[in-house]
Structure 1
Amino acid sequence: MKKVSDCTEILVGKKATMDGSTIVARNEDGYGPINPIKYIVHQAQDQPNKVFKSVTTGVSIPLPDHAYRYTCTPQADQSDGLWEESGINEYNVGMSSTETTATNKRVLGYDPLVHDGIDEEAMLTLVLPYVKTAKEGAQRLGDLLEKYGTGECNSIAFNDKDDVWLLETAGGHHWAAMKIPDDSYAIVPNQTIMQEVDVSDTDNFLIASDLVEFVDKHHLNPQPGHFNFREIFGTQSEADAFYNTPRTWYGQKLFNPETDQEPTSQDMPMTRQPTKRLAIEDVQRFLQSHYNGTKFDPFGTYSSGTKDEQRQYRPIAMDRNQCSSILQIRNDVDESIAGVQWLAFGFFAYSPYVPFYVNALDTPEDYKNTTQEVSLDNIYWLEKTLAVLIEPHYHEFSDEIHAFLDGCQSYARQRIEAADQGADSAKDLPQYLTDNNLETAKELSKRTHKLFDTLVKHGLKLSITYWEKGQNL
C-alpha cells in the first residue's frame, strides 16, 4: 500500500484572514520522494444503488443516490486505491484528508485499529460528494468511522464559507471534532493536537456517540474535571518533540513572533490569534518553509547553524512533498466563484501555487495526465525535476527561484481579479471558469518550463569539471 503520510496542515478561520476567507491547507507528503499526483474534477451524477468497495481494506459501503461535483488530487496509479486527498465540492465545502497522527498505546489497548474499515484512501471519496457544510462533513465521517472503524490514526479538516472544522480519530472507532475559532489559526504536524473538548457544546464540538462512556469505563482521563483530547488520546513522545512540534513552533513563530517557545515544547496551544491577519501568501510561506532564517534551516550556511543543527528537525518543505493544496472559500464574492483551490506539485520551496476555480468542467491536461515515468509534459514531474536541479545549487539559484515564485504569485492574483470581474457577464459560468483556469495554468506552466531551461543552462556551467580552453595556461 502506498500510504501517504507525514503531512503538514494549517487551518485559518475567516476572522483571521485579510479577506474573510476560510482556509484549509495541507502539504501532502509521502514515505518516499515519489508518488505521482494528478488534479481532476468529478461532475455531479446520479448513482442509484452504488456501493463503494475499497481495494485496500475490502470494506463495502452503500453510497447516497446523488453525488455532488467535487475536485480532488488522487494518485496517478490507482491500483491500490483512489487517495483523492483534497478538494472542494459544488456547495463550497472543502475537505483535506488526511494528516497522519498517533493514538497512545493505552487507548489502543481498548479500541485497537481495524484493517477492514475506512482508511485515508477512501475518506474524501466517501464524504466530500455528499455534504453541504463543513460540520456535516465532520459528522458524516465520524458516523462512518464509528460504524466501520479505521486502521489508521488521522486528522481530517473541513471548511465552508463560515466555519473550519478539524476531526481527529482516536483508536479504531472513536473520534472528536471541533470548530476552529473564527479569529484563530491552527497547525497540525502529525500529532493529535485537539485540547479541551466541551462535550455539551454541540455548536463547536462533535464527538463519537460513546466517547465519554468509553473514557470513563477504561479510566483513560488523567485530568478529571477536564476533557483534554490530546492528553487522553494523543502522544507526547521524544519523537513528537523532534519530528512534530518544531513545525508548530515555526508556524507560530511566523504568525506570532512575540511568543517565546522552544521547538520541542509539548505545551504549545492548538490555536492562536495571529498578530496580523493572514493572506494566501502567508499560508504559502509557511507551507514552502524549511525553518528559513533559523539555525535549523537545512539550506542555511554553517555560520547560521552547525551541520547537526541544520538536520535536527523535520522541515515542512522537503523531498517527500507531493502536492500542496490550499482550499480557500471566499466571502467577498458570489458563491458561484467563491471556491478556489491553489495547487503546487513537487518540492514546494520551488513550486508556484496555481489558483483553480472549482466550479469548472475540467482541469488542464498537464495536471491530469500524470504518468508513472518521468515526463516534463506533466506538472508533477516537471516540478520534481526542478528540485533535482536546484537542491545541489540552492544558493546559486536562490535569486532566480524567488523572483520566479514572486512573479507567478503576482500573476495568479491578477488572473483571479480579472476573472472575478468578468464572471457576472459570463453566459456559461462553468465554461468561463474552466477557460480561465486553463489560461492561468498554461501561463504558469510556460514560466516553469522557461525556468527549467534557464537552470539547466546555468547548471551546466557549475560542474566541477567546467573548464575553458586556455585556463591556467
Structure 2
Amino acid sequence: MSKTNQTSCTAVLVGKDASFDGSTMIARNEDAHGAINPKRFTAVKAEDHPSKYVSKVNEFTIDLPDNPLRHTFTPSADESEGVWGESGINTSNVAMSATETEFTNPHVLGLDPLVKEGIGEEAMESVVLPYIHSAREGVERLGKIIEKYGTFESNGIAFSDADEVWYFETVGGHHWAAQRIPDDAYAIAPNQTGIQNIDFSKPDEFMWATDLREFAEKNHLNPSKTEFNFRNIFGTHTEADRHYNTPRAWYGQKYLNPEMEQDPMSDEIPFIQRADHKISIEDIQYILSSHYQGTPYDLFGNGTEEEKHRFRPIGIDRNQEFHILQIRNDVPAEYAAIHWLTFGVNLYSAQVPFYANVNDTPENYKNTTNTVDLNSAYWLNKTIAALAEPHYHQVINEVNTFKDDAQSYACGRVAAIDSLAAELSGSDLIDFLTRQNETTAAEVTKRTYALFDSLVKHANNHMQLTFDKGQNL
C-alpha cells in the first residue's frame, strides 16, 4: 500500500507446479505508513458496481465495462480517502493483489514523469478485477489503462488464475512490463523493481508496454550490450534498497532455499527462484510473518543493537491485512478459490480460509470502524499485537500454539467443506459456502478472544506499577 514512500508490503508468488497441491498462490502483506489503517473484507456483487469510477485520491476517472463479476475485496474501512481494494478473487477464479509499492529511478522519471491524474493503487483493484476472466487478461487490461491514462506511482501487481501467475510492474508514468512466474518457480517481491531479463521473443512468458523497447533505445537507458534487464534499466539500486528491500527477498529465499548463500544487501538477488520442495500455505505464512528469525538481524534475537535494527522486517507493526489468494486445481472450479485472510500484525494473528464464491462475508470482518471496537476482527487482532509485543519472549510460545491450532482447524475445515460442497451447485452452493465461511470465522474469532483474555491477564500481572511490602521489611 503506497500512501507514502517506502512503507509498504511484501509479496510471495508461487506457480502451480511449485506449490504443495498444484494450486497457484499469490500472497501479500498489505502494510501502511503507520500502525493503523482499518480494513474490511467484503463480497462485492455484480449489480453494485458503478458504470464509472471516480477516484477520491485525484481526478482519475474511467468508464467501466458492462457485465462485471462478483468478487471478494479488502477495502479501507473509511473510503473518504479512496477505496484501496487491495486483494480479491472474482467468479472466474481470477485473483488480483494490488499493489506492491515500487520505485523508478530518477533518470527514467525525467523522461516519463509520473502522471498526477493517472491511475494509482487506490483504484486498480476496482477497475480491473471485476472485468477480467484470466490472469493474462488482467495484465492486458491494466497495461492498456496505464498507457492511456498514466499512473502517479510505481507499483507491482500480482494476477493469477488456475494455470498462471503473473507479476506486473509499472515504471515511470506510462511504461510497464509483466512476467509469468514459471509453473515450477516462486518469486518474492519487496518494494523494489523485481523483473530482470525480458526475452521479447517469448510473449507467452513476458508482456510489456507497446513502446517499451523503443523508449529505452531512444533514450539510451540500457547499460547492457547483450540483454534487456528491466530492473537495471528502470529500477533503483540505492542504499535505502539495501536496508529496506533486498533483505526481505534474501530472507524469504533463505527460508525456501537454505542451501543458497546470498548477501542480504546484494543488488543481484534473483527475482525467480526454485525450491527443492513443494511450497505450502504454511511456508508463505511463515515468510510473511517473519522478522529474520535465526539471524543476527532478528529484533527479538541475540544480535547487537545495530544488527537488530539494520534491516526492515517483513512482519511489522504496519501490517494491516495479509492474504493468500489460492486457486486450486484438484477440486471443481465452483469452490476452488480460497481467499486466506488475516487482519492485524501477521506475527500474532491467525488466517481464515474464506471460500471466494460467496455473496456475503461475516459481520465482524465486513463492518470495521475507525475507532477501536473489539467486536471487529481488525481491531481485535490489532489489540492482540499491542498486548503481545511488549512481552514477546514470555508470550510468543502461547501465540504460536494458538496460530498452529487455528491453522489445523482451518485445514480441517477446508477438507470438510470440500466434501460437502461436492453435492451442491448454483445458488445452493454459494449460500452453503457463505454459511460455512461464517462458521469458520466464528470459531477462529472465538479462539482469538481466548488469546486476548490470556494476554490481558498476563500484561496486568507484569505491570511495573506494583509494590511488595515484604521488600521493605
Q: Considering the TM-score relative to the shorter chain, is it more than 0.5? A: yes
Alpha-carbon contact 1:20-1:330 (below 8 Å) kept: yes
What pairs up with 1:165-314 in 2 under 5 angstroms? Answer: 165-300=166-301, 304-314=302-312
Secondary structure, in 3 states, of the residue corresponding to 1:414? Answer: helix
Partner of 1:320: 318
Secondary structure, in 3 states, of the residue corresponding to 2:237? Answer: coil
Secondary structure, in 3 states, of the residue corresponding to 1:36? Answer: coil
What pairs up with 1:58-457 in 2 under 5 angstroms? Answer: 58-300=59-301, 304-426=302-424, 428-457=428-457
Cα-to-partner distance string for 1:385-417 (whole Å, 9 max, x where unaligned): 111111110011011111100000000001000
Comparing 27-36 and 422-431, the one that deviates more: 422-431
Shift of 1:465: 3.1
Please tell me the residue identity of whatever aligns with 1:399: N
Distance 1:456 1:47, change over 3 A: closer
Identity %: 54
CA distance in 1, matches of 2:167, 2:367: 32
Please tell me the residue identity of whatever aligns with 2:319: N
CA distance in 2, matches of 1:472, 1:317: 44
Alpha-carbon contact 1:46-1:65 (below 8 Å) kept: no
Secondary structure, in 3 states, of the residue corresponding to 1:109? Answer: helix
- TM-score normalised to the size of structure 1? 0.97
CA distance in 2, matches of 1:399, 1:60: 49
Cα-to-partner distance string for 1:136-176 (whole Å, 9 max, x where unaligned): 00110010000000000001000000000000001000001
Partner of 1:25: 27
CA distance in 1, matches of 2:290, 2:372: 26
CA distance in 2, matches of 1:468, 1:138: 65
Shift of 1:471: 5.7
Alpha-carbon contact 2:2-2:121 (below 8 Å) kept: no
Is residue 40 from structure 1 mapped to residue 42 from structure 2 by the alignment? Answer: yes
Cα-to-partner distance string for 1:352-404 (whole Å, 9 max, x where unaligned): 01110000110000001110001101011111111111111001101111110
CA distance in 2, matches of 1:18, 1:325: 17
Cα-to-partner distance string for 1:113-138 (whole Å, 9 max, x where unaligned): 01101000000101000000001001
CA distance in 1, matches of 2:468, 2:359: 54
Cα-to-partner distance string for 1:47-88 (whole Å, 9 max, x where unaligned): 79x211112121221110111011110000100111101000
Please tell me the residue identity of whatever aligns with 2:181: I
Task: Structure 2: give runs of 5+ residues left out of the alignment.
Answer: none
Shift of 1:464: 2.0
Shift of 1:469: 6.0
Cα-to-partner distance string for 1:67-111 (whole Å, 9 max, x where unaligned): 101111000010011110100000110000000011011111110
CA distance in 1, matches of 2:176, 2:464: 55
Task: Structure 1: give runs of 5+ residues left out of the alignment.
Answer: none
Alpha-carbon contact 1:47-1:65 (below 8 Å) kept: no
CA distance in 1, matches of 2:412, 2:165: 27
CA distance in 1, matches of 2:373, 2:2: 21
Partner of 1:461: 461
Alpha-carbon contact 1:46-1:66 (below 8 Å) kept: no
Shift of 1:275: 2.0
